[in-house]
Amino acid sequence: GNSVTQMEGPVTLSEEAFLTINCTYTATGYPSLFWYVQYPGEGLQLLLKATKADDKGSNKGFEATYRKETTSFHLEKGSVQVSDSAVYFCALKGSMSGNTPLVFGKGTRLSVIA
Amino acid sequence: NAGVTQTPKFQVLKTGQSMTLQCAQDMNHNSMYWYRQDPGMGLRLIYYSASEGTTDKGEVPNGYNVSRLNKREFSLRLESAAPSQTSVYFCASSDRGPSSAIQEKLFFGSGTQLSVL
């Protein structure tokens, strides 16, 4: 079945540091890939998405490129801020027929310190 | 802009008690979902409803029941709560069904923190 594997957290960075959160997936066909973010005390919200190979999703300074050859969708940001402290979830939607709700990774907690 | 509203926000139950978690969305979405979030486990799908009148099991349905009351509302019921059901529960909705070939964006509520003693 479809699955998503994220790097274990927590990740602690200083303000303005470079961020990478790794995400790899297993799926048949051509899934759509997502990053969701959960700020403290809130529900998840969509951060960015990519629907086909080599697509780059971007939002709020975050980027992720859909790499089919490595089955990866790593999240990056060049300079993190304290306000980026949150839990980040990689997710996948399968492309095969039938009902295929989103599958989420386990989440990676990011703490950014000033 | 209410979006997805969950009630209650916090609840403490004793083992064996029952309760219903309520969820309502005002975006005229077809699909609704219930997830639970546990440390180290991420989000796991309990049940979902692709459209009004239909419900399907997700990854961890045991111990839960759901009702899609109408297009707006999707409730989750614990008939006999167990300590293993201590978790944060999230309701979500989407205008696309899970069978849609188009990417599906979920809108989440702010969660219900449930403790079962």
Q: DSSP string covering chain B, please?
A: ---EEEE-SEEEE-TT--EEEEEEESS--SEEEEEEEETTTEEEEEEEESSTT--EE-S--TTEEEEE-SSSBEEEEESS--GGG-EEEEEEEESS-TT-SS----EE---EEEEE-
Higher pLDDT, B97 or B17: B17
B114 has pLDDT over 80: yes
What pLDDT score does B100 carry?
Answer: 62
Contacts of B92 in chain A (CB under 8 A): 43-44
- The pLDDT of residue A44: 92
What pLDDT digit, counting tens, does each position of B49-107 carry?
A: 988 889 999 999 999 999 998 999 999 999 999 999 999 999 999 887 666 656 678 99
Candidates B41, B90, B108; nearest CB to A106: B41
User: What is the structure's pLDDT at A66?
Assistant: 96
Q: Is B110 on the interface with A (CB under 8 A)?
A: yes
Instruction: Please tell me the predicted confidence (pLDDT) of residue A30.
Output: 83
Q: Which of A45, A93, A100 sits opposite B108 (nearest CB)?
A: A45
- Interface membership of B41 toward A (CB under 8 Å): yes
Cα–Cα distance for residue pair A74/A101, rounded to 1 Å: 21
Q: Which residue of B has its CA nearest to A47?
A: B105
**Chain B nearest CA to A11, separation (Å):** 14
Kindly report, residue by residue over A67-91, the tens digit of the pLDDT: 999 999 999 999 999 999 999 999 9
Residue B109 at interface with chain A, using a CB cutoff of 8 Å: yes
Amino acid B97: pLDDT: 65
B113: confidence class by pLDDT, cuts 50, 70, 90: very high
Angle at alpha carbon of residue B5, lines to B1 and B10, rounded to 5°: 135
pLDDT tens profile A16-51: 999 999 999 998 878 899 999 999 988 999 999 998
